Amino acid sequence: MRKIKRKEEGVSPVISIILLVAITAVLVVTMYMMMPKPSESEDLLTGDLTYELDRSKSFEGNASFKVTMNTPSEVSIGFVNFALLDSNGTKVGDTITGNDISDEHTEFEDFNLIINHIQSEPGKLADGDRIEIKTDGNSPDIEGYELVIVLDGYTGEMSAVVI
């Protein structure tokens, strides 16, 4: 009886396992890179502005807002940006940065911004403080106007509409 010689060719089990692990690793890395990542440099601003009807006279151009802030609970005024929007959503004057603001009373082109430091010291804005807007008299009725506050380094905004 004669032996039959067979020539068997195939992939070594070691090589097949290495290829399988490499393909899996590439897929995992690709999926990880595609996943959305939260912003690592900015925290979420959690706070609110409340329009104070009993302290305001919108028909005379005066509005008062109470600040409620959780994150952060207090911030340096240099990181605060204010914008006043009219009832059509158009910005009144320029955006006011914290660097433009004096300690308590700041006059701008079309309105005055007053920060009443109830809970904070001058140079800061904190939970419980009040912000007042007073127009210069050219547009006395500010019903429908909106005050918007954005903090540098935080995502989100605080806003309130004058009623």
- Please give the average per-residue pLDDT across 96-105, as a whole number: 68
pLDDT of residue 1: 66
Domain residue limits, the chain: 43-161
pLDDT of residue 78: 83
Judge whether residue 147 has pLDDT over 70: yes
**pLDDT, tens digit, 9 for 90 and up, residues 4-44:** 777 777 778 888 899 999 999 999 999 888 887 655 556 78
Closest-CA residue to 78 (of 112, 58, 101): 101
**pLDDT, tens digit, 9 for 90 and up, residues 121-141:** 888 888 898 888 887 666 667
Which amino acid appears at position 124 of this protein?
A: K
pLDDT of residue 104: 61
CA distance 129 to 64: 11
Question: Is CATH 2.130.10 what the domain over 43-161 is classified as, yes or no?
Answer: no
| Number of residues that make up the chain | 163
pLDDT of residue 35: 80
